[in-house]
Amino acid sequence: MNISDLILIIKKAINIENINLESSSENTEEWDSLGHLSILVALDKELNGKLSSIPEIATADSVEAIIAILRKNHLIDES
Amino acid sequence: MKVKISDIEFYLPHKSETGDQLKLDNPDWDIEKIEGKTGIKKRFISDVDETALDLAIVATERLFKKGVKIDEIDFLIYVTQSPDYLLPTSACILQDKLGLRKNCIAFDVNLGCSGFVYGLSIGGALIESKLCSQGIIVCADTYTKYIDKNDRTCRPIFSDGASSTLISLSENDQIGSFDLGTDGSGANNLIVYNSANRISKDKEKNLFMAGSDIFIFTMSSVPNCLNKILMEAKLKLKDIDLFIFHQASKLVIDTIVNRLKIDPKKCFNNYHEIGNTVSSSIPIALSQANSSGKLNSGDKVLLLGFGVGYSWGGCVVHWS
């Protein structure tokens, strides 16, 4: 999964088109607590269950924060 | 364990609530979206003067009406996080109200979603030790009393209810392969602050749930627990005839089922019409699975509860 894939996953999870690197729960109405859970479910599926070994992902409520955590755990393709 | 589940009864409060009521109190909530994620369309709400103990009494009286001899009950395990008082122990009040013998063992277990499985484990051990021959595991909770009417995380999910389960000595091993666990580092993620002696001046006395943290905990603990149970039981996933998970919500159960590649037809759920009744969710589902013909004698049923604590517990029941 690369960053474009991640953004696409988030778009699908919360069902909106307008997601970019600056998006967060603060500036995206659909990214509420339910939306955040939907993002986690979608990411967990994409990563074949690896998400559950990263507890800090639970509070990552922006695209930037999610990328940082995935990067730290070598779960994002930088190519 | 040479212990069997002999019978289960349950009771839900008369008052119930649907999305219409939520919308009335919170016009800005997208009910369709909420119900789409939680899968919960109806919840049961105890009256102001109706406590978990009241629900527990009705559930257990239903059990006794079916012919259980009250004077043959050796123990009462009361699983609740909604006690009438900090003290005395609710189980003592329940023993008296139900007219159980005075030499009946009675104590509370302060656990939520994992509580029924813990109750089975403790009750089973009392029977296996030959200290007791049969007893009841009564689960009752009224979480809705802790929830603010504008709390969109908790209100659409939790429901009130009680169950009473009779377990007794059996000739064969019918309950076993328990896996029980605890991770108290998650205590603050599902909590009612200021509900006992610890004062947190900046917190409300309401149920607080960090849904995302609970989700990550669940996805970590449930697969591990299930695998340990299967290994201990020397069974494969396909050998299980029915799975009954704690009825947390559609989103959580669907993710577990997808992750573990469980055939959805083998997973019994009732969250749609009952909601999440915490400690009673597994016994109520087990009772309904049985009454709806989903269970046959000899079936292997895997029960797994998880949540507040964090705490989790699962086991295999050979249905009879």
B8: closest CA among B311, B234, B301, B313?
A: B301
DSSP, collapsed to helix, strand or coil, labels residue A50 as helix
pLDDT score recorded for residue A49: 86
Q: Is B152 in the A-facing interface, judged by CB distances under 8 Å?
A: yes
Distance CA B118, CA B114 (A): 6
Q: Is B210 in the A-facing interface, judged by CB distances under 8 Å?
A: yes
Hunting for tokens 């999440």 — which residue is that?
B276
- Closest residue in B to A42 (Cα–Cα): B255
**Looking at the partner chain, which of A32, A45, A57 has a beta carbon nearest the beta carbon of B216?**
A57
Tallying the residues shown for chain A, one arrives at: 79
pLDDT score recorded for residue B237: 95
Give the tens place of pLDDT for each residue, B137-149: 999 999 999 999 9
Q: Determine whether the interchain pair A51/B258 forms a contact, defined as Cβ–Cβ distance below 8 Å.
A: no
Distance CA B48, CA B44 (A): 13
Residue B142 dihedral angles phi and psi, to the nearest 5°: -130, 65
Mean pLDDT, 10 residues at a time, over chain B (320 residues)? 96 97 94 94 98 98 94 97 97 98 98 98 97 97 97 96 97 94 96 95 93 92 95 95 97 92 96 98 98 95 97 96
Can you give the pTM of this predicted structure? 0.94
Distance CA B131, CA B219 (A): 38
DSSP string, chain B: --EEEEEEEEE--S-EEEHHHHHHH-TT--HHHHHHHH---EEE---TT--HHHHHHHHHHHHHHTT--GGG--EEEEE-S--S-SSS-HHHHHHHHHT--TT-EEEEE--STTHHHHHHHHHHHHHHTTS-SEEEEEEEE-GGGG--TT-TTTTTTB--EEEEEEEEE-SS--EEEEEEEE-GGGGGGEEETTSSS---TTS-SSEEE-HHHHHHHHHHHHHHHHHHHHHHHT--GGG-SEEEE----HHHHHHHHHHHT--GGGB---HHHH-B-GGGHHHHHHHHHHHTT---TT-EEEEEEEETTTEEEEEEEE--
Please name the fold of domain B175-318: Peroxisomal Thiolase; Chain A, domain 1 (3.40.47)
CA atoms within 13 A on the CB side of B84: 17
Interface of A with B (CB under 8 A): 32-34, 36-38, 40-41, 44-45, 49, 51-55, 57-59
pLDDT exceeds cutoff 70 at A79: no
Which domains, ranges and CATH numbers included, belong to chain A?
A: 3-72 (1.10.1200.10)
pLDDT score recorded for residue A63: 96
pLDDT score recorded for residue A33: 86
ipTM: 0.84
Give the tens place of pLDDT for each residue, B243-292: 999 999 999 999 999 989 999 999 999 999 999 999 999 999 999 999 99
Distance CA B243, CA B168 (A): 22
Of the residues B22, B215, B250, B251, the best mutation for testing chain A's interface (the one with the most A CB atoms within 10 Å of its CB) is B215
Chain B residues whose CB is inside 8 A of the A33 CB are 152-153, 211-212
Check if the beta carbon of residue B135 is closer than 8 Å to that of residue B167: yes
Give the tens place of pLDDT for each residue, B221-255: 999 999 999 999 999 999 999 999 999 999 999 99
Please name the fold of domain B3-169: Peroxisomal Thiolase; Chain A, domain 1 (3.40.47)
The full set of domain ranges for chain B reads 3-169, 175-318
Residue B273 dihedral angles phi and psi, to the nearest 5°: -105, -10
Measured in angstroms, the CA of B285 and the nearest CA of chain A are apart by 25
Same fold, B3-169 and B175-318: yes
